Amino acid sequence: MADWTGVARRADHPASLTPDAAAAPLDPRQLLTSLGEVVYDWDLRSDRLSFGSNGAEVIGLDCRGALATGAAFDRLIDVASGPGRCAFFRTAAGEDTGAGVPFRLAYRLRIGATDVAVEDSGRWYAGPDGHPAIVHGVMRIAREPALAGVARTDGWADLARTIDTLFAGGCGRHRPLTLIFLAIDNLGAINAALGYARGDDIIAATAQVLTRQLRQGDLLIRHGSNRFALVMRGCSAQQATVAAARMAGLAAAAGGAVATVRLRMGAATAPQHADDAETLMRNANLAFDEARRLSGSGFVFYGPQLAATMTARRAAAEGIDILAALNERRIVPARQAIVDAETRQPAFHEALLRVRMPDGAAAGAARLVPAAEKAGLIEAVDHRMLELITARMTDEPGLRVALNISPRTLASRAWLGNLAAQLGACPGVAERLIIEITETAAVEDPGATRASLDAMKALGVFIAIDDFGAGHTSFRHLRHFPIDLLKIDGAFVQNLARSSDDRFFVRTLVDLAQHLGIATVAEWVEDEDTARLLTQWGVDYLQGEHIAPVTAWPEPAGLTVERARERARSA
């Protein structure tokens, strides 16, 4: 294969590990866990939430079961810190030009008997409507002592058991049973202005005010740092509405002279809205989420209209028609330059997936890829992108391009044959093409992955690992894969200026990659200080909006895919 100095290691970087250094390769999963960090991906349309392989160790819960959806995770969030994650991304503002929109959240979780402070940051990617569709981020978790005060349940299941007991006694069937979820809406602002200690005092004072308003038989249960469940036996929806208004007025004074407390409340009543504890809790929680979303009234009662609204929102978030986009040739590439860290000159470009929507808008990979995977068409999408990119590379003989392929495509039997045919139709392209695979794809079946990578290398292409650092791959795997390029996950790069943990983690990845003789790319470089720091550490290439924006990629003016194939057949 022809030498490509654009991604070759610089001469001052060691080409291999020494025997001593190779004996104990570092596993990034262990490093992330020790820092209390876990990477995650969240598809807001399906609500599927996927954590890195160290998720259970960091969070302390079954991330593949109990926390497999954003809604399930949101139930653990203490709204004291502000709106839940679901509510935040429903109203998130910003323009996604292809590289995503950065975000940063801070909130608390209630896990068992422990309060957990979370710093959540990353990027969200827009769907065709411009609203967040995919979130890719990293959570940093610090466990805190439980707050003293009101007795509480131990999470959602414990609260369900308490309400189940009331159903067993006839409440919710023969007599009405109303459940109100409530929290201090402005506690995040109170904490920011007065400190968390004063905020905790205000939570306790609010609980005392509410407790004094309870009737005989009512229950006030704390099941989060700033989340309460008010269970009212023999209370109709109309009576609960009156009670909620009274409690909101009385709680306003719980902060004394320093703060006015605002409550957000969501309620549901059995048997009107539910005939079991789980349904009652779920409907009350939907009403509570709606109350947090609305800027007006702080109290929402569950009802058919709310259920219809939620259904309409889910329908609006359904996937796009991938087959139509393929047939109508509306899948097109964009590109972003990746520059040499020292010279800041473009070394190569990354090809980015786009689809032109029927209304003229453009959707990015974060919107398209999950829909294509769900429809079973991701291999067809990847093959179409390969056709488009090789055509453009043929039209621009000096162009070097990195192309992502999905794990499903890498594992398919047809991929290598398609790649060989396409490269055969476009002579001179192979040695300028980088195929990017994700960490997850690399380790799902290491033996099969190694065979596929060896076969691609034999065709003359370069190989890159994308989003490295998400906690799946150890450097032991990398030593056995023919990798030319390592792309460090941008969720860590974007926080370098604020996080000493991320600086340590990224620096460690760079040092070990240098020992292995693998070139590095830092993604999501958003400011000059970060760019200079990465360059000092020896990162080879930089990518991000600060470095070079995502741009459209015009149709090739010269050789098309079809003409290239015809020329190859006649040669």
Nearest to 490 by CA among 41, 5, 186, 1: 41
Q: What pLDDT score does 290 carry?
A: 85
Q: What pLDDT score does 113 carry?
A: 55
Q: What pLDDT score does 457 carry?
A: 95
- Tokens 């959707």 map to which residue? 363
Burial track 350-377 (b if 16+ CB lie within 10 A, e otherwise): bbbbbbbbeeeebbbbbbbbbbbbeeeb
Whether the model pTM is above 0.85: no
For the record, the structure tokens of 538 come out as 């020896």
For the record, the structure tokens of 202 come out as 């205000």
Alpha-carbon distances of 26 from 413, 450, 501, rounded to whole Å: 33, 20, 16
For the record, the structure tokens of 462 come out as 């370069």
Q: What stretch of H or E contains 57? A: helix 55-59
pLDDT string in tens for the chain (571-residue length): 444 444 544 434 433 333 344 445 556 666 667 677 888 999 888 888 988 888 888 877 777 677 888 888 888 887 555 567 877 887 777 778 777 888 888 777 777 656 677 888 889 988 877 888 899 999 887 654 443 434 455 567 778 888 888 888 888 888 899 999 998 888 878 877 777 678 778 888 888 888 888 888 888 888 766 788 899 988 888 888 898 888 888 888 888 888 888 899 999 999 988 888 889 998 998 898 888 877 656 899 998 777 776 655 554 444 467 778 888 888 999 999 999 999 999 999 999 998 887 767 777 777 778 778 777 888 999 999 999 999 999 999 999 999 999 988 998 889 999 999 999 999 999 999 999 998 767 766 778 888 999 999 999 999 999 888 765 455 666 778 899 999 998 888 988 878 888 899 899 889 988 988 899 999 999 899 999 999 999 999 999 989 999 998 887 765 444 554 454 444 4
Q: What pLDDT score does 59 carry?
A: 79
Q: What pLDDT score does 409 carry?
A: 92
Q: What is the dihedral of CA 283, 286, 290, 293, to 10 degrees?
A: 160
Distance, in Å, from the CA atom of 208 to the CA atom of 222, rounded to the nearest integer, reads 12
Q: What pLDDT score does 387 carry?
A: 94
Nearest to 92 by CA among 52, 137, 123, 53: 123
In this structure, are residues 505 and 469 in contact, taking their beta carbons and an 8 Å threshold? yes
Cis peptide leading into residue 271 (ω within 30°):
yes
Q: What pLDDT score does 27 carry?
A: 63
Nearest to 355 by CA among 318, 327, 336: 327
One-letter identity of residue 459: L
Nearest to 119 by CA among 103, 99, 100: 103
Distance, in Å, from the CA atom of 353 to the CA atom of 374, rounded to the nearest integer, reads 17
Q: How many CB atoms lie within 10 A of CB 381?
A: 25
For the record, the structure tokens of 73 come out as 């995770």
Nearest to 251 by CA among 151, 153, 178, 183: 183
Q: What pLDDT score does 510 carry?
A: 92
Range list of β-strands (E), 202-318: 219-224, 227-233, 263-270, 299-301
Distance, in Å, from the CA atom of 378 to the CA atom of 411, rounded to the nearest integer, reads 12
- Tokens 């940093």 map to which residue? 140
- Residue 51 CA to chain centroid, in angstroms? 9
Distance, in Å, from the CA atom of 219 to the CA atom of 232, rounded to the nearest integer, reads 7
- Tokens 């979370």 map to which residue? 118
Q: In the chain, what's the furthest Cα-to-Cα distance?
A: 91
Distance, in Å, from the CA atom of 451 to the CA atom of 433, rounded to the nearest integer, reads 19
Q: How many CB atoms lie within 10 A of CB 397?
A: 10
- φ/ψ (deg, to 5) at 467: 55, 40
Q: What pLDDT score does 168 carry?
A: 85
DSSP strand pairing (401-404 vs 433-438)? parallel
Q: What stretch of H or E contains 465? A: strand 462-468
CB contact set of 540 (below 8 Å; sequence gap of 6+): 7, 9, 10, 340, 341, 519, 520, 521
Q: What pLDDT score does 114 carry?
A: 62
One-letter identity of residue 315: A
427: left (phi over 0), alpha (psi -120 to 50) or beta: beta
- 3 state DSSP class of 96: coil
Q: What pLDDT score does 15 carry?
A: 38
For the record, the structure tokens of 309 come out as 């609204």
Q: What stretch of H or E contains 37? A: strand 37-43
- Number of alpha carbons in the 13 Å side-chain half-sphere of residue 117: 8
Q: How many CB atoms lie within 10 A of CB 130?
A: 13
Distance, in Å, from the CA atom of 505 to the CA atom of 251, rounded to the nearest integer, reads 45
Q: SS3 breakdown of the chain: % helix, strand, coil, rounded to 5?
A: 40, 25, 35
Let me know the angle formed at the C-alpha of 337 by 51 and 401, rounded to the nearest 5 degrees: 85
Q: How many CB atoms lie within 10 A of CB 106?
A: 15
- 3 state DSSP class of 323: helix
In this structure, are residues 45 and 71 in contact, taking their beta carbons and an 8 Å threshold? no
Q: What pLDDT score does 570 carry?
A: 47
Distance, in Å, from the CA atom of 555 to the CA atom of 562, rounded to the nearest integer, reads 14
- 3 state DSSP class of 1: coil
- 3 state DSSP class of 480: helix
Q: What pLDDT score does 268 carry?
A: 94
- Residue 527 CA to chain centroid, in angstroms? 22
Distance, in Å, from the CA atom of 375 to the CA atom of 367, rounded to the nearest integer, reads 13
